[in-house]
A = this chain, B = another copy of it.
Amino acid sequence: MELMVDIVNRNGVDQGTEELPLPRRLVALALEELATTPAEKLSVRRVADRVGVSHQAPYVHFGDRRTFLAAVAGIGLASAAERAREAVEQVSADPRERLHALADAYVDFIRSKPHLHDLAYGPTVAMGDHPWLQAAAINYWRLHVGVVHACQPPGVTEGEVHNRCASAWGLVYGIARLDIHHKIPRTVPGDPALLMHAALDALYHGWRADI
């Protein structure tokens, strides 16, 4: 079970030609299903069936449904984090602009793969359920911290940076998720992405004004 970490680590090297090991094929197909099916309706049996393997095969590797879903969330989240990192690095070095780029990437993530996002950052799985998920979540968080850190005036403690990072993440997460699930009343005229930018600017301004 532990050596799967090796598999995901050498993941970038030999993709493509070589046949993926079964756990990876299962996860890949589950991610595909997750594009249209919410996680709670995803059937492990059907994934196994589509891969062409017995209904019990996934449980040989992952133990139970939750662990499997956690692995799926891990792989999916890793690629989302990578895309966000690219998006951030593509814009200028202006911290506020990078903050907006990060937020936009997050909105893009939640909009293009809402079920995956809900799985990773919802109650279904815990971060400790699978090492892949834990690693991906930490990686994504580090990106957040880096961007938010660059927005701070000098003299702000490391802990306070993390605090503010959590606030900004919560803001983006909340607006984007309420939006994607159509919980924002139609009496709200503004585009959620723009509301988010305005609110982020308010946070940014508050951070700089504190000193």
Contacts and interface: CB of A to CB of B under 8 A. Distances in A.
Interface string A93-135: 0000000000000000000001000100111101100000000
Interface of A: 38, 40, 114, 118, 121-124, 126-127, 137-138, 141, 159-160, 162-167, 169-178, 181-185, 187-190, 192, 195-196, 198-199, 201-203, 205-207, 209
B206 A121 contact: no
A202 B206 contact: yes
B123 A114 contact: yes
Given A121-B183, A201-B206, A192 B166 contact: yes
Contacts of A207: 202
Contact of A173 (B124, B174, B185, B206): B174
A61 B96 CA distance: 53
Given A163-B198, A167-B171, A174-B174, 14 more contacts: A118-B122, A118-B123, A127-B183, A159-B188, A162-B185, A162-B188, A163-B190, A170-B175, A170-B178, A171-B171, A173-B177, A174-B175, A198-B206, A203-B203
